[in-house]
A and B are shown apart, each in its own frame.
Chain A
Amino acid sequence: MAQSIALNLAQIAFVLLLSPLFAGILARCKELVQSKRGPSIFQPYRDLRKLFSKDERVPAGSTWIFRTAPYVIFIVPLTITLLIPVLTNFPLFMAFAGDMLAAGFIFAVSGLFFTLAAIDGENTYGAMGASRTRMVGFLAEPVIIIALFTVSFVANSTIPYIVQQHWVHPIANFFAPSHILLLIAFFMIILAETGKIPVDNPSGHFELAMVDESKALEFSGRSAALVKYGGYMKFTVLAVIFLNVLTTPWGLASSGSPAAVLLAAIAVSLKIVALVLAVVVVESTYAKLRLFRIAEFLGAAFVVSVTAMVTDLLHL
């Protein structure tokens, strides 16, 4: 049990330490595609250090929600890290405390607090961004639900550690249409939930067009750092669910020895970098959708996930 807890802590350390790096690589690669030099891949770490050492200001009329929200946003991805296989392919201490649905619900908590804090911050743009994020969230919800239905139909479980083993034993499962279509739908959901093009432009500075970013406008100092950090970790955690649970459950440590865990950390980092490159391709080749076209993007994701379920129900 002690080893199990130690490994859980290692997983948290992995997410905590490397998330800003993945964000940095994403930003850098996007700039490189546009023939610019771009900031160093370690820039997110510097940003966080700067923000953590700055003074914090809060809007005069705001309540406790505005002050607590950054901590919730920061803690939630770390909580989910306890439930999912980040580095090991055997269940850890908290593995059976919650399944993928639970992970979805816990993410919803941070979304709720972020929304409330944005409205609480008394910035008009904050409330606008909050309502837009809710719109994207509502439209993404059915896709997530259908995707999880499909997972539970196919693998007879929604515990990530069990689902993970299902896709590759036997290998024919990997090519099952429900699996591939599920991956497409889930990838679209990752783009929508983490505010990437084509749903939202993460590097946009025009408040009227913002979806996700404008919620964080009023945060400063330590709160801003926590919100930013939470955003980086949310992407990493979703990427880990996508890669380790749904796509490629290879390269994980099968024993608890430090060498195996270190090797797994390297392998998982490489996988996440590969996903980041895929996101760079999507972000560089598509334009941001108009606000009311987002419904069509997520409608397409819904069609894909329902098709995944239907082809599985056929028992081909």
Chain B
Amino acid sequence: MSEQHEIEALVSRDYKYGFVTDIEQEIIPPGLNEDVVRLISAKKNEPEFLLEWRLKAYRHWLTMSPPTWAHVHYPPIDYQALSYYAAPKSVAEQAEIDANRPKSLDDVDPKLLEMYAKLGIPLHERAALAGVAVDAVFDSVSVTTTFREKLAEVGVIFCSFSEAVHSHPELIKKYLGTVVPAGDNYYAALNSAVFSDGSFVFIPKGVRCPMELSTYFRINALNTGQFERTLIVAEEGAHVSYLEGCTAPQRDENQLHAAVVELVALDDATIKYSTVQNWYPGDEHGKGGIYNFVTKRGDARGDRSKITWTQVEAGSAITWKYPSCILRGDDSVGEFYSVAVSNHYQQVDSGTKMIHLGKRTRSTIVSKSISAGRSQNAYRGLVHIAKTADDARNYTQCDALLIGDRNGAHTFPYIESKNASAQIEHEATTTKVSDDQIFYLKSRGITEENATNMIVNGFCKEVFNELPMEFAVEAQALLAVSLEGSVG
């Protein structure tokens, strides 16, 4: 049975991002009420419209209850026991002094820089990966954004959300909540009320963003929820590729992460959004880990626009996440490529929604799940073809790979077609990594580790091919796989 162990060892390597950064933090006391919402808004010197928006969301949230339809199980969360704002003190102080002033790297606490270096994310531009601009969000606050000047030259705005609220309030006002309304769902409403920071990206008409943009999220503080909010707007003919990575310290308590991501693509615009999600998954007994309850949605608002979600989901104790596309524009395209790995007691309920409204809209869904240990891994997807969506097409492929025999893979596909011209295809497979497969490859001279890599990587290849280069490398390292397909 050593082969089985080898596979399990590969999937369950120690979480290496589990360290805690010892840094002075400003945390507001646990509990949630209107005053807390007002306090968060005040700390950020927010304009009145945003405070009103938050309060409206909060009041709506009070009327809602958490969703129970997902194939996940956890004790009820005490929302009054969480703290809704944590910031490294130096940043917090500075933010209070002058929220308008762009932060420069010189103002960043060296301890934070050190932490990001530890995570392999160099924030110094000269040391940064060529061609990737980074926004780093530590607990609730954006720490720094690199390459801003270079991006500004072509009119690209890439900054923290709080900063954008001050520097570009008209854009925030115009687009905030237009894709994920404040009352969309329980967690989105909560996020809308208490979100602390996040990233803002604006690509003006006709501009192809000259580099990959990326945000690294890090939860550090104890008993703190992280509620960041990302808004990406691509005007007519604009093009952007955005990467998101996340890690958290190893803690015995569960931590809540409820983010909202909104994408808007106007005519002929393309947005590619890639995620490598590596939040702390909890230990091998299911203790601790992040509750990742996230709402991500893209609005392919313009004709011929395109939105692509690519995700590698490896972390979190519980994942509840359905990056979706509203295909509003005629001939717009939505894509969802996902690898979700679960091990030990991790629970995943993830998938996508493709809402076809425009004519000749097309969507592709490729979902790969790998379940090991005692984990539960569910794909949940909706393909909706509206009456207006003549000649819409969808292709869905859901593949599950099982390692061991104590876990579960589930598929919940929902198809709603209100237009007879629609073409919808759905394919699903379930396979198991067997000792026979490993032995076969070993008998050809391939080591056990490489044999497992070949199988897992082969299984995920279609999704990895969709990732930008830097992330593809990270994703493969994450699954301990080596690149397949260098020949042919």
Whether chain B is bound by chain A comes out as no
- The chain A residues found within 8 Å of chain B, CB to CB, are none
Question: Which residues does B use to contact A, with CB under 8 Å?
Answer: none
